[in-house]
Amino acid sequence: MDGPERAHSGHSGTAMALAPLAHVLFTKVMRHDPSDPEWPDRDRFVLSNGHASILLYSMLYLCGYGLALDDLRAFRQWGSRTPGHPEKRHALGIEVTTGPLGQGVANGVGMGIAERFLRARFGPELVDHHTFVFCGDGCLEEGISHEAASLAGHLALGRLVYVYDNNHISIDGPTELAYDDDVAERFRAYGWDVNDVGEEANDTAALERALRQAMAVEDKPSLIMVRSHIGWPSPHLTDTAKAHGDPFGEDEIRLTKEILGLPPDESFWVPDEVLELYRSTVPRGQAMRSEWQARVERWDGDRDAWDAAWAGRGLAGWEGKLPRFEPGSMVATRKAVNVCLNATGGLVPGLIAGAADLTGNTGMKLDGGERQSPEHPGGQQVYYGIREHAMAAAMTGMAHHGGVLPIGGTFFCFSDYMRPAVRLAAMSSAHVIYSWTHDSIGLGEDGPTHQPVEHLASLRAMPGLAVCRPADANECAQAWRVAVDGGRPTGLVLSRQELPVLSETAARAPEGVERGGYVLVDEPAGAAQGPPDLVLIGTGSEVQLCVGAAEQLASEGLRVRVVSLPCWEWFEAQEASYRRSVLPRGVPTLAVEAGASLGWDRYADATVCIDTFGASAPGAQVLAELGFTPEHVAERSRELLRQHRNEGGSK
């Protein structure tokens, strides 16, 4: 109560109702070592109803994870380690960033997949733990929870223990205003083990029994339903909507503390014996970790693979297996990524690939890869089904669990379904890779509903996400290398249609793609030295159009440079001198991309882009009708040059 009251903001009621459960979990049940929060074989805890963050922060302080009482006093304040919702990397012990309801439900499913995969891959002596998730009615009402729970049940993921805080209260009032699902039957239908313990939210012995019973279930995920009373034991706010989202006020806090036998005039009061009890989790956890460490030292398995998996990278020299594609050949980049995946996948020990019912279409099929399932718990191939929301959030859970590098695919237009999870992955620097294919109006006959237009611009606007659209198969191979080695979320935006392998990429892409942009085709030297007459910038399938237009313009005596700019984020990370060497000042510049023009003004004076939706017709025809041909690019180039001469300058 004291944290939200001091902040004049925050959610006390849910944290109060779940405090007995959290006490049992952190002090009696969960395997964790606050002195080594990244211990690989620890149990994981996810607070999906992240608005109750003050509960997690209290546990982290009490157990000795490094938070201090002053951090709790700074709840929700500028620069604090205790923001309004749990954010990974703000404080030790926070496994994932949660807050948007339902995301944590799906994160936990990903953690369950990761645990089972690693246990099968390296053995139970190294990997043998559970994932615990607290969730509320808001989490279960959000659509992502349906997808995630269905997937977990289908995969028969044991070692997942979810607790549903059934408090019957939402911000608007009683949940019955909009929600009367039979949650128990719903989850049983998904294939979960369900235990409704009823009015036991304050019975610590009953809660411990329920948790341990669920932990014993190995062949399906478990849901414990607890009928709690939000804000208990507040005399006036228990079971009210106000207890959900508002601080209680000084008078109500005093009354509640008196009921609990706490000193009503003390804030953030922690008796020594309470702190001593909680801090006893440290030596208990250290003993567990020491036993595990001894097993690791005795283990005679593949340590290089173990280390690479937990580092989220490939084995030493893995990049030497990257394929090289012959100039002039025609390869769709969605197919090129599959060649890369299969050429190097065996050297990336933690790799798990999958797609949302589009495994072959998005290049995510591992040759000979076993399907992740109870029969093949070490399977690297996950069939997510038509569940983009759950796939993206589960991938984030896998990445933050550690030991797993997930890559997942769908059509680029359906990145819209993934976006909330992608945002949280970017916010928390999750090492995930997205294969977003069918990347433009070049998709063709499926038409505007399936042809991405605004997606590049919208995802480029997301901080912390690298959006990479390679020009050909060789650029795709280098983008795959950078994504694996990079350690942050990367979206590979790939073509459905075949693209020519450009003659320059074999030599220039290895360095150029990593830098985000590079000179693909130099301007002809000519008699005069100095900057080019014109720069054409392209990404993805439009780079070839720039090359073709440059050839036409060269025949007219113009000195035209072609720049491939596959990733704005990587390019912006380069020093200014490099960026200016690629895009010199004062030279008219035309950007060509089959997507929205929004944002291109940072690099170009004019664009050949598309600011309308597409059309249903063969892809080549759609592109041509909307101006994506070398001839049209050349004509727009001439117009820009005329304008530049008339106006006497450019950016």
Tokens of 441: 């109006």
Do strands 405-411 and 222-226 pair parallel, antiparallel, or not at all (unpaired)?
A: unpaired
For residue 174, give the H/E element and its range. Answer: strand 173-174
Question: Rounded to an integer, what distance in angstroms lies between the CA atom of residue 483 and that of residue 466?
Answer: 9
Residue 416 near residue 423 (C-beta atoms within 8 A):
no
What are the start-end ranges of the H helices in 65-221? 69-73, 103-122, 137-141, 143-155, 183-190, 204-215
Question: Rounded to an integer, what distance in angstroms lies between the CA atom of residue 63 and that of residue 110?
Answer: 26
Residue 111 near residue 46 (C-beta atoms within 8 A):
yes
Residue 433 near residue 406 (C-beta atoms within 8 A):
yes
Rg (CA), the chain: 28
Q: Indicate the Cα dihedral angle 294, 295, 301, 305, nearest 10°.
A: -70
Question: Rounded to an integer, what distance in angstroms lies between the CA atom of residue 61 and that of residue 92?
Answer: 10
Tokens of 243: 């207890």
Which residue type is seen at 84? Answer: G
- Secondary structure letter of residue 51 according to DSSP: G
Residue 485 near residue 405 (C-beta atoms within 8 A):
no
Of 175, 256, 342, whose CA–CA distance to 1 is shortest?
Answer: 256
What are the start-end ranges of the H helices in 269-332? 272-279, 281-298, 303-311
Catalytic residue selected from 388, 514, 523, 593? 388
Question: Rounded to an integer, what distance in angstroms lies between the CA atom of residue 85 and that of residue 556?
Answer: 60
* Strand ranges across the sheet with 589-592: 518-521, 560-564, 534-538, 589-592, 606-608
Tokens of 340: 């890369």
How far CA 277 is from CA of 24, 53, 280, in Å, comes to: 12, 22, 5
Residue 15 near residue 2 (C-beta atoms within 8 A):
no
47 beta partners: 134
Dihedral angle sign, alpha carbons of residues 204, 210, 213, 217:
negative
Tokens of 302: 């593949």
In the residue annotation, 388 being an active-site residue is answered as yes
Do strands 193-198 and 222-226 pair parallel, antiparallel, or not at all (unpaired)?
A: parallel
Residue 391 near residue 408 (C-beta atoms within 8 A):
yes
414 beta partners: none
Question: Rounded to an integer, what distance in angstroms lies between the CA atom of residue 117 and that of residue 25?
Answer: 25
Q: Indicate the Cα dihedral angle 636, 637, 638, 641, nearest 10°.
A: 120
165 beta partners: 136, 226
Would you mind telling me the total number of residues written for the chain in this entry?
651
Could you give the residue numbers annotated as active site? 388
